[in-house]
Amino acid sequence: MTAQTPKVAINSKPAEKKVEVTVDGKPFTTYMWPDSLEKPVLYPINTASGTTITRGFPPLANERQDHPHHVGLWFNYGDVNGFDFWNNSDAIKPEQKAKMGSVEHREVVKAEAKGDHATLQVKADWVSGDGKTLLNEATTFTFRAAANGARMIDRVTTLAAAKGTGTVKLPDNKEGALGLRVIRALEDPAEKSGEFKDAAGRVTKMANMDTSGVSGQYLSSEGKVAGAVWGTRGNWTKLSGKVNGKDVTVAILDAPGNPGYPTYWHARGYGLFAANPLGQSALSGGKDTLNFSISEGTPATFRYRILVLDANPTMVNGRVVGAAAVALVMVTGATSSVALAQAAKKKGAAKAAAGPTPTAAEVASAEEAYKTKCAVCHTPDGNSPIEQMNFADGVWKHGSSMKELMNTISEGVPGTAMMSFKTQFTPGEIAALAKKVRGFDKKLK
């Protein structure tokens, strides 16, 4: 580890019902499951400079006091076999509790730090208001820190129908699924007073507030801006603004292979930033319908990256640019198949091994994939300013031979959010992508 490489540490404190994550001794985030919450959350979440991006718990005096169930970063849904997990909180009236659901933390399976990242594996159960376990959850968080100040949280959640449930239904519902509630400064200054109804018809009233210091603006991968992002699809959306005069960005990235990919965005100007891949009919005005379900023996896996920056990547000709933009990639492959070959690296170079000979069409397909999906993050010449994403520095963790690179792209990396792409590309396309990536390292020629 170089002197510039941040050190991530993780500390499990079961008696306090929390697991703390730090970078170079400074707080990054905490996984917690206090009795006052109806699901585990990550709270607070801080940038490298120490700016907190999550609304207070409880909300601070100068923050909106609405939606008490919006705490930190969480994952649940508004309709699971008819029970509302999303809106549940200690503010729900006793007579309504039977209709709600809770995600109950069960176990910290693993909490381990290795240099610039730490891994947290947990188990939880989704329990309905009548006390029945509907879903068993297994989640792996990977907390990463880059030398340029980027902070990343990878969340991989697998939901399995509990024994005896048969099929658990998650019909289209506006309230879901990966949610984040941000600080006042990152709200949209154009947000006005009004009323918001949840899926059950409960009304939350919003009052006008002083907009001094409020500058948040959404931007999606499809070029949608501000309020136009809500109810649209995209493989990522970022929220940027100034906090105490300095740029801050938080982005959520979807991953190919996720249910409902690319996700719909339930992104509100008042500070709720959510990816909802399951609520398609509710968010599209009936244009799309999913009505997702999970049957016993057929679990569903959801992969997301949350990116936190002390910067504001900008758009030029429809693409995100700037050094900070390089981190706008799922190292696991959410936006770039080539990224699978370079999730992390180790020194040395292996002798090239021959792969299948791609056709001219497959080579052209690989070139186009790199140019349109990968170059914005890895840069056109592969010489990314972020070490983990640099193809030209001669450092390869999973090997640099054609065989090793093709295997990484094809199979992914078990135990991480890096998914397999073998069903999405032909062997020739995978070989062409591997050759393209390998070619950036001049030492291998």
Q: How many CB atoms lie within 10 A of CB 189?
A: 16
Six token digits for residue 431: 């070989």
- Rama region for 231: left / alpha / beta (φ>0; ψ in -120 to 50; rest): left
Q: Is the pLDDT of residue 377 over 60?
A: no
Query: Which residue in 113, 270, 258, 118 sits closest to 188, CA to CA?
Result: 270
Question: Among 19-23, 233-237, 383-387, which is the least confidently predicted range?
Answer: 383-387
Percent of the chain clearing pLDDT 70 (strictly above): 83
* C-alpha gyration radius of the chain: 22
Residue 258, pLDDT score: 94
Mean pLDDT of all residues in 9-37: 98
249-278: burial string, b at 16+ Cβ within 10 Å, e else: bbbbbbbbbbbbebbbbbbbbbbbbbbbbb
Residue 399, pLDDT score: 84
Assign 310 a pLDDT band (cuts: 50, 70, 90): very high
Q: Which residue has the higher pLDDT, 336 or 421?
A: 421
CA angle 168, 171, 173 (to 5 degrees): 130
Q: Is the pLDDT of residue 338 over 70?
A: no
Mean pLDDT of all residues in 324-330: 43
Residue 99, pLDDT score: 97
Question: Among 127-131, 166-170, 195-199, which is the least confidently predicted range?
Answer: 195-199
CA atoms of 139 and 151, how far apart (whole Å): 19
Amino acid identity, position 216: G
Residue 445, pLDDT score: 61
CA atoms of 13 and 108, how far apart (whole Å): 10
Six token digits for residue 184: 């006042």
Close Cβ partners of 171 (under 8 Å, ≥ 6 residues apart): 79, 291, 292
Sign for the CA dihedral angle at 412, 41, 95, 278 comes to negative
Assign 379 a pLDDT band (cuts: 50, 70, 90): low
Percent of the chain clearing pLDDT 90 (strictly above): 62
pLDDT in tens, 259-279: 999 999 999 999 999 999 999
Question: Among 47-56, 220-229, 409-418, which is the least confidently predicted range?
Answer: 409-418
Residue 394, pLDDT score: 83
Mean pLDDT of all residues in 229-238: 95
Close Cβ partners of 259 (under 8 Å, ≥ 6 residues apart): 277, 278, 290, 292, 300, 302
Q: Is the pLDDT of residue 335 over 80?
A: no
Residue 329, pLDDT score: 43
Q: Where are the alpha helices (DSSP H) in 5-77?
A: none
Q: Which residue has the higher pLDDT, 381 or 72?
A: 72
Mean pLDDT in the chain? 86
Q: For 206, list phi and psi in degrees, rounded to 5.
A: -110, 130
Close Cβ partners of 75 (under 8 Å, ≥ 6 residues apart): 39, 103, 139, 155, 157, 177, 178, 179, 302
Mean pLDDT of all residues in 302-315: 88
Assign 316 a pLDDT band (cuts: 50, 70, 90): very low
Largest interatomic CA distance in the chain: 70
pLDDT in tens, 194-210: 776 676 777 777 777 88
Q: Where are the alpha helices (DSSP H) in 311-442?
A: 360-369, 375-378, 402-411, 427-438
Query: Which residue in 10, 41, 42, 35 sits closest to 23, CA to CA?
Result: 10
Q: Is the pLDDT of residue 162 over 80?
A: yes
Q: Where are the alpha helices (DSSP H) in 240-333?
A: 280-284
- Rama region for 439: left / alpha / beta (φ>0; ψ in -120 to 50; rest): alpha
Q: For 141, list phi and psi in degrees, rounded to 5.
A: -100, 135
Six token digits for residue 231: 């109810």
Global pTM reads 0.75
Question: Among 53-67, 137-151, 284-298, 375-389, which is the least confidently predicted range?
Answer: 375-389
Q: Is the pLDDT of residue 121 over 60?
A: yes
Assigned CATH for 8-314: 2.70.98
Mean pLDDT of all residues in 19-35: 98
CA atoms of 139 and 108, how far apart (whole Å): 10
Q: Which residues pair with 168 in a beta bridge?
A: 294
Residue 414, pLDDT score: 64
Close Cβ partners of 66 (under 8 Å, ≥ 6 residues apart): 204, 205, 206, 270
Assign 331 a pLDDT band (cuts: 50, 70, 90): very low
Q: Which residues pair with 178 in a beta bridge?
A: 75, 275
Q: Do 329 and 378 meet the contact criterion of CB atoms below 8 Å apart? A: yes
Mean pLDDT of all residues in 305-320: 73
Q: Is the pLDDT of residue 5 over 60?
A: yes
Query: Which residue in 283, 308, 299 sits closest to 177, CA to CA?
Result: 283
Q: Do 221 and 229 meet the contact criterion of CB atoms below 8 Å apart? A: no
Q: Prior bond to 313 cis, omega within 30?
A: no
Q: Which residue has the higher pLDDT, 29 or 313?
A: 29
Report the top-level CATH class of 329-444.
Answer: mainly alpha
Six token digits for residue 123: 């188990």
Mean pLDDT of all residues in 249-267: 94
